[in-house]
Copies of this chain bind each other. A is one copy, B any other.
Amino acid sequence: MSKSPTTKSRALGKVTLSEVAAHAGVAPMTASRAINQPELVSATLRERVDKAILELGYVPNRAARALASAQSKVIAVLVPSLSNAVFTAVLAGIQDALDPCNYQILIGNTRYSDAEEEKLLFAYMQSNPDGILLSGLTHSPRVQQMLATSRVPVVSMMDLSPEPGAMSVGFSQVDAGYAMTRYLLDKGRKRIGYMAAQLDERTLRRAEGYRKAMREAGLADPALELLVPEPSTIALGAELLGRMLAKVPELDAIFCCNDDLAHGAIFQCQRRGISVPEQLAIGGFNDLPASAWMKPSVTTVGTPLYQTGFEAASLLLASIRGSEVAAQRIDLGFTLMARESA
């Protein structure tokens, strides 16, 4: 009550629920109900409490509520990158799905690193999240263990889990890789290269699809693959185009594991005077905004990014609420966007 403001007290010095209650002439419990379950409070008292809140400028203390209720109202989201437009699109979907529910979203950027993912997950676990959204299917043993121990609902995004109990939302990366390769094959291309960076699990699964299609066509050749661990950028796409051509001069098509690489490869072709698609067909992945507008426009695989985030968050919400979860595994599919570059 009478703490001198200069004394370093352990309290925040902010307005508390009790003060609101006192101001409104009710018990703290009633003030709490007026805020969280107003329908259980008589109109008169509810108004008195609302007035007190406004007059005092009351801001609820989330930590206290979390501690008392054992519910954090926190959802943790782990994505491998924020600079990659792919994941910001997924995040937009998540935000929209979660927006009405008043959850606090913890966004963690793992930077494609298992160690970072472990660190972030451990940090987030301390907030007792009500649910977790993860990118991809494969995680380190320690991450798997933390998840198993906590028994928090988890939804995986961007690929489909083969495990029966697991919740996942996305599409088959293998099938999508296969589809693009098949498309290039159908266009009559024979020497089709696969160019990939980052080497995350999705990139590798697209490579599987590529190999399957090439094998079926009797055109498989390891020399056609160029996979590097560096982060995927336009600059890298430009560089890899050069290396690819040096390795396989008779190349007639390239499937880039994503659009950044494809854009870089196309810019490089323009600088070298290689005509796309006449001399070299180029396919990308994810259909980033520039792909539709570049000249030549980029043939690529349209993927349900926003929707993946939206559906994954919705599934997680349903699971948190304990309602019967219809589909544990939501296949959103993909679309081959045939344009000018291939």
A-to-B contact residues, CB < 8 Å: 10-12, 14, 57, 59-64, 66-70, 72, 82-83, 85, 88-89, 91-92, 95, 102, 104-107, 109, 122-123, 125-128, 149-150, 233-235, 238, 263-264, 267, 270-271, 289-290, 292-295
Q: With A69-B10, A83-B88 in contact, do A61 and B126 touch (Cβ < 8 Å)?
A: yes
CB neighbours of A150 from chain B (8 A):
59
A123 to B60: give the CA distance in the assembly, Å: 9
CB neighbours of A267 from chain B (8 A):
293-295
CB neighbours of A64 from chain B (8 A):
63, 67
Are A127 and B104 neighbours in the complex by a CB distance under 8 Å?
Answer: yes
Are A70 and B263 neighbours in the complex by a CB distance under 8 Å?
Answer: no
Classify the secondary structure of A's interface with B: helix
Q: With A109-B95, A267-B295 in contact, do A82 and B72 touch (Cβ < 8 Å)?
A: no
Q: With A70-B11, A83-B85, A88-B82 in contact, do A62 and B295 touch (Cβ < 8 Å)?
A: no
From residue A124, how far is it (CB to closest CB) to chain B in Å? 8
Are A67 and B61 neighbours in the complex by a CB distance under 8 Å?
Answer: yes
From residue A142, how far is it (CB to closest CB) to chain B in Å? 11
A1 to B68: give the CA distance in the assembly, Å: 18
CB neighbours of A12 from chain B (8 A):
70, 128
In the complex, residue of chain B having the shortest beta-carbon distance to the beta carbon of A81: B88
From residue A27, how far is it (CB to closest CB) to chain B in Å? 19
Can you list 26 A-B pairs, Cβ within 8 angstroms, ordered by A? Answer: A10-B69, A12-B128, A57-B149, A59-B126, A60-B126, A61-B126, A62-B126, A62-B127, A63-B63, A63-B127, A64-B67, A82-B82, A82-B92, A83-B85, A91-B109, A92-B109, A104-B106, A104-B127, A106-B106, A107-B107, A234-B289, A235-B289, A235-B292, A263-B293, A271-B295, A290-B290
